[in-house]
Amino acid sequence: MATDEIAVLCRSVTKVFGRGDTQVHALRGIDLEIRFGELTMLVGPSGSGKTTLLSVITGLLDASSGELVVLGRRPANLSQEELILFRRETLGFVFQQFNLIPALTAAENVAVPMMAAGVKRQQAVACGEEFLGTLGMAHRAHALPSELSGGEQQRVALARALVHQPKLVVCDEPTSALDGRTGHAVMELLSATAVRPDRAVIIVTHDSRIFEFADQIAHMDDGRITALEENRKNGPLTKSTPVYEAAPAQPDLGASQMIGG
Amino acid sequence: MNFVALRMLVADRAKYFSLIFAIAFASFLLANQISIFIGIMTRPSSQIRDVVDADIWVMDPQTLYSDEVYALRDYDLYRVRSVPGVEWAVPLYKGTGRAKGEDGRFRTVILMGVDDATLVGAPRKMLVGSIYDLDQPDAAIIDKAGFLYFFPGEPLQAGKTLQMNERRVLIVGISDASAPFQSFPVLHTRYSQALGFVGRERNLLSFVLAKPAAGAPMGKVCERIEATTGLRARTTTQFSLDAFLFYFRNTGIPVNFGITVVIALIVGTVIPGQTFYIFTVENLKQFGALKAIGVTNRRIVGMILLQALVVGGSGYALGMGISAAFFARTLNYMPTRGIIFPWQVMLGIGVVVLLVVGLASLISIRRVLVLEPAVVFRG
């Protein structure tokens, strides 16, 4: 596969929390490729390392070792300022609990990433309103989050993640706070609006009802990817060789072995 | 992002208003107590500051402050006059006596006996009459508070009489003399007249008021007077400070006011600080989300400082407004007359409020700065 098709490349990525006896190996040698134009799901039980992997990919946490390339950049090589700028310009976030600012209207919440980038408030809010319109939420643009249903809040969160045209959209359990029907509707919207040839989407979930929307599913357990599934569009999911069984267990690499470049 | 910060701030109205009112209350309490303290502590020197013609006060070497005086010998006046650098010197009597009104009510009064010839020491702010009316027999000028005490409900007018030492005191004018510490009525009369009003005293000369010659440094002239006469010579400013310090050291007033000021400072720091901290902690998820989507720490610090400045500024403005209204209301009330709200106090409290909100926001900022943005992924 051509490297310019790969949005995220993980090679033997590990993440260790704590020191000595209190060490926790959250990621134990992750190998994963996430392609542009695809929706990748990280699935697995609680504590399997899904959210840690998402945090490492988005630069919110540093990898302890391994090689990580995100949108052609290596987060380990970026300064804090560069990392913040990188996240602001190229990443879109959808959180489990929406994390909308309660004091702002839907349109203002959508406008936050643009305001953070220095766009004037009126212009950013107008843009937010317009973008909400494309998600069928124009009539709720001036409502506060507390006045919106869970599904509507997640749509606003989705709009906030997409409004600045990011290259990579990461979603943390986007349907877990929603009922099945609403979750499905949100996923349909996400699939229709977020997935584009020049963008990759990563979703962390353990909601099996939405697996059908995935192009690729990485099953995780105990900090490892245990299996990768490819979903050929318009066809059933095909399970690939379980990675965990095929690959030898990854040694715990120290910070000194961390590959930065 | 300032817009976001302000909207976050005002969204929780209960906390927003409790922050503002806590700062307003603390500001008001500080302004009120400090201003009243200054007002009360400057009262012992009010009769000194009311004398605007002379710059130097000469007194017995053991005199500590203006309310307890050991009289000088009459010839001390001439000794002071003979000191090089003294342009002129006049006598001043300051003492207390008992005055009785027409209806029998009496009070201790402060009696000021000013030089017959020059009227140096006579009140400069007259509400009724003129200081030159002191030329009349038994004449005295009473302050407004005294007049209202002896003649309640009557319009301010000359011609009323009091009795002192079985002698008639003819009120020929009403002055706007500064309120004394003890709130006694203040009477001004001629030096020669004062003797009759207080009864026989061997020596009547409380102070010699002197004016340095043009170009002569006041401090040098004081030193020269002290060296030549053995008396104590103080400038008006020094003598006012003596009075202030005497009451400061020998009364419980500073302790009383000090306790209130300290309590106001503690309440004014702890309550807004704690509320602001809780406000920040409750918004940690939002701040985490902002950090995750690429808002810099510097921006977030700016947001928190803006929030702190807005609540601090609003609370301070409200507190100063209440204080100003309070002092405007009490300025013309006789017991509290002359107690004002100095601009220096207003400025000082502004600095204190700035420190308080700065401290409160520092604690909150620290909490946000150490916040891992990855927290937003933890349900």
Question: Model confidence over B215-260: pLDDT tens digits?
Answer: 889 999 999 999 999 999 999 999 999 999 998 999 888 898 889 8
Tell if the CB–CB gap between A58 and B292 is shorter than 8 Å.
yes
Together in a domain, B322 and B217: no
Distance from the Cα of B3 to chain A's closest Cα (Å) equals: 8
Percentage of chain B with pLDDT > 90? 47
Does B369 touch chain A if contact means CB atoms closer than 8 Å?
A: no
Structural domain for B151, as ranges: 73-230
Q: At the topology level of CATH, where does A3-101+153-257 sit? A: Rossmann fold (3.40.50)
Judge if B196 and B313 occupy the same domain.
no
Give the model's pLDDT for residue A261. 28
CB-nearest partner of A116 from B8, B295, B373? B295
Residues of chain B contacting A111 with CB distance shorter than 8 Å? none
pLDDT in tens, B355-373: 888 888 888 888 888 887 7
Three-class DSSP labels, chain B: CHHHHHHHHHHCHHHHHHHHHHHHHHHHHHHHHHHHHHHHHHHHHHHHHCCCCCCEEEECCCCCECCECCCECCCHHHHHHCCCCEEEEEEEEEEEEEEECCCCCEEEEEEEEECCCCCCCCCCCEEECCHHHHHCCCEEEEEHHHHHHHCCCCCCCCCCEEEECCEEEEEEEEECCCCCCCCCCEEEEEHHHHHHHHCCCCCCECEEEEEECCCCCHHHHHHHHHHHHCCEEEEHHHHHHHHHHHHHHHCCHHHHHHHHHHHHHHHHHHHHHHHHHHHHHHCHHHHHHHHHCCCCHHHHHHHHHHHHHHHHHHHHHHHHHHHHHHHHHHCCCHHHCCCCCCHHHHHHHHHHHHHHHHHHHHHHHHHHHCCCHHHHHCC
Q: In terms of domains, do B124 and B188 share one?
A: yes
Q: Percentage of residues in chain B with pLDDT exceeding 70?
A: 99
pLDDT digits (tens, 9 = 90+) for B38-97: 888 888 888 888 888 899 999 999 988 888 888 899 899 999 999 999 999 999 999 988
The pLDDT of residue A84: 87
Q: Report yes or no on B68 lying in a domain.
A: no
Average pLDDT (B194-201) is: 81
Average pLDDT of chain A, as a whole number: 82
Residues of A in contact with B378 (CB under 8 A): 51
CB within 8 Å: A97 and B373:
no
Q: How far apart are CA B371 and CA B354, in angstroms?
A: 25
Min mean pLDDT across A155-159, B128-132, B200-204, B245-249 is at B200-204
Does one domain contain both B299 and B196? Answer: no
Number of folded domains in chain B? 2
Residue B1: pLDDT band with limits 50, 70, 90? confident
In a domain, B342, yes or no: yes
Same domain, B225 and B266: no
Domain membership flag for residue B28: yes
Q: Is the pLDDT of residue A250 over 60?
A: no
- Closest Cβ opposite residue B376 in set A95, A115, A176: A95
Residues of chain A neighbouring B372 (CB-CB closer than 8 A): 60-61
Residue of B nearest to A177 (CA): B379
In a domain, B313, yes or no: yes
- Examine residue B222 and state whether it is found in any structural domain, yes or no: yes
Same domain? For B192 and B104 the reply is yes
Q: Which of B230, B262, B284 represents a domain boundary (last residue)?
A: B230
Residue B247 located in a structural domain? no
Cβ within 8 Å, pair B285-A97? yes
Residue A8 φ then ψ, to 5°: -135, 130
Q: Do the chains contact at B1 and A172, CB–CB below 8 Å?
A: no
Domain identity same for B220 and B266: no
Please indicate whether, in this complex, the C-beta atoms of A87 and B295 are within 8 angstroms of each other: no
pLDDT at B112 over 60: yes
The pLDDT value given to residue A233: 53
Q: Taking residues B138-156, what's their average pLDDT? A: 93
Residue B48 in any domain: the answer is no
Q: B333 lies in a domain? A: yes
Inform me whether the pLDDT recorded for B348 exceeds 90.
Answer: yes
pLDDT at B2 over 90: no
